[in-house]
Amino acid sequence: MNEDYKLEFLVSPETKIKFRHGIHTYRCQDNELLIGKNVFSTHEIVFPTVKLSSKDGSYIPETQVRLSLVDVRSTPDNVKEHYHKLIECKDCKRPGLSWNITKVLQSGSNIVTFDNLGIVRTKGPDQIQAVSERLLERRRECGDTVSGTWDMNRIRDLAADSVLETSDKELRLCIEAYVFQEDGSILELARILSSIVQDMTDANGSITIRKRNICSDSVRLGDMN
């Protein structure tokens, strides 16, 4: 990490959303949107937003700002991949999933908003493969050459061990700022993790009821106290 740069959340993500179980359409329901905390308590929807700061106020052209999903055990210095995926919740003809959403820092601005995104659950049989692919991609980004059966099997073993300890219903957002170097590897400038984001649905996919109005608890007299 580069000490000359720092990432911070201007709008943190809400701590509970509904993780999707499939992608029949790009459109997300309101409770499936990865929205931000509205500290002003208005009805306006806000989205997770980060600010990249530099000590001298200058920024490298084509700086990339990436959002990905990571395990709750992650720290800024030790990222552990999560197997769930991101979907852009827009009107598009062909829904697609990705392990990250990356935006380029626009000239004259150091603020990036990640809007209209949803989280899609990855089924058990596909989880190890999903983590393996992300581990492999990060190795390549660092300029490491991955070749041979032994190396690939080692990555898969690391992924399998990680999946065993990964929560299916909790994760964090990982935001990273970086630039590409001449050899195709990346130079990471800054990284920040969000608070834990939880799936608001239970194991069978229904929304968990956390509070119940006692006035509608029963059709037989209710509570007489």
Decide if pLDDT at 222 tops 80. Answer: no
Provide the whole-model pTM: 0.84
Mean confidence (pLDDT) of the chain = 84
For residue range 139-150, what is the model confidence (pLDDT) as tens digits?
Answer: 888 888 777 788
Residue 148, pLDDT score: 77
- Continuous segment of H or E residues that includes residue 193: strand 186-193
95 pLDDT higher than 60? no
Give 39-54 pLDDT, tens digit per residue.
776 678 899 999 999 9
Q: Which residues of 103-129 are buried (b: 16+ CB within 10 A; e: fewer)?
A: eebeeeebebebbbbbbbbbeeeebbe
Find the mean pLDDT for residues 98-105.
93
Domain range 5-122+167-213, its CATH number among 2.60.40.340, 3.40.50.720, 2.40.50.140, 3.20.20.70: 2.60.40.340
